[in-house]
């Protein structure tokens, strides 16, 4: 993510303050070994299983996994008439995946005759993440997408004063917050859950998955007759790089203001 988005060196909008000049096209592609075994399943059948996968870093896009064709179950693939054209890679052909009565339409694609400058795409297949039932990085299930090796999450304790205001009422004021910095995203301040009056929070049905932090649970805040839905989230069981935000809440929604040392932050 840091390479291809947000002004990274492979994004179309390169950083201004550098002491180098990149020769080449404005739209850039970088082909990198993926260092671990990766698998994708549909209806409990392994569709692909590779120890030789690649990550394609492409300007303004998240990295895309490609695997050698021999690491994909050919007997589950059905060629389709669907075609797309990429001006940077060439014409893509598609395969549906059939497992019994389950069919994932146009779930995999490849470039049978890629443009000469990206000839290394030949013999590799890519899959739409959401059209498979499960993905595994080694033996750990991964949600959302594979982790970009150039993307970081850092959590630091901070004694800066963090004050959260919801519907004009201060719901928490603390100097025991955790500051989470994540590549390409604004800093987020997580406050101890025990510093928030428990009667203000109601459980929400909303959940989201982050490949770097884990599965987030959302909370609605009710103050008098004001209800701010999904005003805060927490990670009950965060992943390794974000363990320090366990038992903490982050507030961010319309109608919520967070002040750090008296300054309103986005």
What pLDDT was estimated at residue 251? 97
Mean pLDDT, residues 239-263: 96
Q: Using alpha carbons only, how large is the chain's radius of gyration in Å?
A: 22
Per-chain mean pLDDT for the chain: 94
Helix (H, G, I), strand (E, B) or coil at 242: helix
- Reference 191, options 246, 230, 257; nearest CA is 246
pLDDT in tens, 10-64: 887 766 777 877 777 888 899 999 999 999 999 999 999 999 999 999 998 999 9
pLDDT in tens, 81-120: 999 999 999 999 999 999 999 999 999 999 999 999 999 9
Instruction: Determine the Cα–Cα distance for residues 220 and 240; give it in Å rounded to an integer.
Output: 27
- Reference 56, options 105, 95, 114; nearest CA is 114
Same fold, 29-142 and 153-265: yes
Q: Please, which pLDDT band fits residue 156 given cuts at 50, 70 and 90? A: very high
| Domain at 29-142, CATH class | mainly beta
Q: Which residue has the tokens 């990149």?
A: 22
Residues 6+ apart with CB under 8 A from 181: 152, 153, 154, 155, 156, 187
- Reference 40, options 138, 132, 147, 143; nearest CA is 132
Mean pLDDT, residues 157-163: 98
Q: What percent of the chain has pLDDT over 90?
A: 81
Distances in Å between the Cα of 141 and the Cα atoms of 40, 215, 241 are 10, 12, 16
User: What's the pTM?
Assistant: 0.85
Lowest mean pLDDT among 160-164, 166-170, 259-263: 166-170
- Show me where the domains of the chain are located: 29-142, 153-265
| Domain at 153-265, CATH class | mainly beta
């Amino acid at each position: 993510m840091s390479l291809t988005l947000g002004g990274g060196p492979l994004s179309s909008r390169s950083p201004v303050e550098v002491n180098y000049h990149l020769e080449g096209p404005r739209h850039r592609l970088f082909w990198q070994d993926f260092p671990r075994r990766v698998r994708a399943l549909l209806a409990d059948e392994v569709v692909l299983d590779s120890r030789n996968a690649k990550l394609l870093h492409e300007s303004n896009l998240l990295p895309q996994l490609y695997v050698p064709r021999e690491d994909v179950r050919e007997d589950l693939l059905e060629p389709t008439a669907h075609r797309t054209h990429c001006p940077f890679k060439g014409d893509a052909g598609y395969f549906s995946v059939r497992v019994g009565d389950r069919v994932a339409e146009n779930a995999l694609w490849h470039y049978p005759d890629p443009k000469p400058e990206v000839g290394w795409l030949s013999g590799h297949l890519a899959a739409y993440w959401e059209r498979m039932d499960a993905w595994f990085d080694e033996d750990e299930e991964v949600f959302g997408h594979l982790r970009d090796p150039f993307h970081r999450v850092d959590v630091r304790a901070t004694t800066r004063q963090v004050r959260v205001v919801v519907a004009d009422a201060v719901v928490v004021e603390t100097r025991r917050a955790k500051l989470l910095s994540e590549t390409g995203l604004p800093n987020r301040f997580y406050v101890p859950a025990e510093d928030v009056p428990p009667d203000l929070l109601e459980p929400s049905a909303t959940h989201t998955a982050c490949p770097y932090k884990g599965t987030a649970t959302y909370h609605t805040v009710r103050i008098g007759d004001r209800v701010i839905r999904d005003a805060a989230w927490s990670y009950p069981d965060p992943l390794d790089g974000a363990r320090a935000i366990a038992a903490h809440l982050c507030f961010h929604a319309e109608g919520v203001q967070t002040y750090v040392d008296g300054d309103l932050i986005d």
